[in-house]
Amino acid sequence: MKIILDVMGGDNPPAEIIKGALLARKELDARIALVGDESIIRDVLSAEGADSSDFDIIGSDSVIEMEDNPLCIVQKKKNSSMGAALRMLAAGDGDAVVSCGNTGALFTGATLIVHRVPGLRRAALGTVLPYTNNVMLMDCGANVTVTPEYLLHFAHLGSIYMRKLYGIERPRVALVNNGSEGHKGTPLVIEAKALMENDENLNFIGNVEGKELPFDACDVAVCDGFTGNVLLKTSEGLCRFVMKHVIREVGSTDGGKRGDVVSALEHEDRFFDVTEYGGAPFIGIAKPVIKAHGNSEANAIKNALMRAADYARADVIGEIEKSAELFKAVPVGGKNEG
């Protein structure tokens, strides 16, 4: 197995990203290809005391910045580190791509260069939220505007992922909404709910409010990418705020076991740390493409590379291909019997 790593994207390139590759190499039974400015890559490896022959080093001539138009990956910056990585994957010179660069460009490149699974209208960015149970959030940032049919397809993609990687035979699917009552929601959500209720291949349990997600409410939470991204980032920020506030308050009190309590809370704080969970796959793309957090440091990159290997080995994409009937256009009346 070979995993292709864009070392020039995100907020901390390239040293932290290359350090993450060095960490992953100790645990990962796979070759890692480093894509970016070749001379800089070699300089960083040398500074870290690493042997450059342990990696494939692929040169590129530009970097896609966070503010760049996503279409630049197929226009002015075709041979950027991200673009070169995706073209390697499309050509079969690797088994997965990991990048913490511009999400829009990565999604555009994955769609136009690597392509979607045949028959699928949209791929989605899915991330697992580490709540009481693991909850797959679909979509968390790739598709700001969607149709009810897309949301139905996201539900199936998330269900396949949870079956293949987490062994949940019939994942419980819920639609993120502003209330659990069936009549609530926008026209988009109400129509999507009707499609999911009529799909016999889906274990749909109804609507779910954001406040319920941490408490074993469902296994797959479905929404548009705008809602999902806001939900994800609010959860990250709120969890970190609460934990740091509690740690500070406990640390300022007297008591014989204060140090033990603070230590325990700091351990739990890592539970909410994005670096512990690596990256999020674009589920529905024909080959594994993993988006790591933009501000990823070495440990996060290591975990994203591990996640990429797990995703590839679980053959989620093969299962999606075998489930093509689930992604056909919904007939008039909304009944999808597969």
**What's the CA angle centered on 273, arms 277 and 12, to 5 degrees?**
85
Q: For residue range 106-164, list pLDDT tens digits in order.
A: 999 999 999 999 999 999 999 999 888 999 999 999 999 999 999 999 999 999 999 99
Please give the helix or strand (H or E) that residue 57 lies within, else none: strand 56-59
Fold match between 1-120+284-316 and 125-276? Answer: yes
Record: fold of 125-276: Isopropylmalate Dehydrogenase (3.40.718)
What pLDDT sits at residue 332? Answer: 47
- Check whether the bond before 13 is cis (ω within 30° of 0): no
What pLDDT sits at residue 242? Answer: 73
Instruction: Quote the CATH superfamily of domain 1-120+284-316.
Output: Isopropylmalate Dehydrogenase (3.40.718.10)
What pLDDT sits at residue 238? Answer: 78
Domain ranges of the chain: 1-120+284-316, 125-276
Contacts of 248 (CB under 8 A, 6+ apart): none
Those residues of the chain that have pLDDT short of 70 are 247, 249, 251-277, 330-338
* Four-point Cα dihedral 109, 143, 124, 146, nearest 10: -130
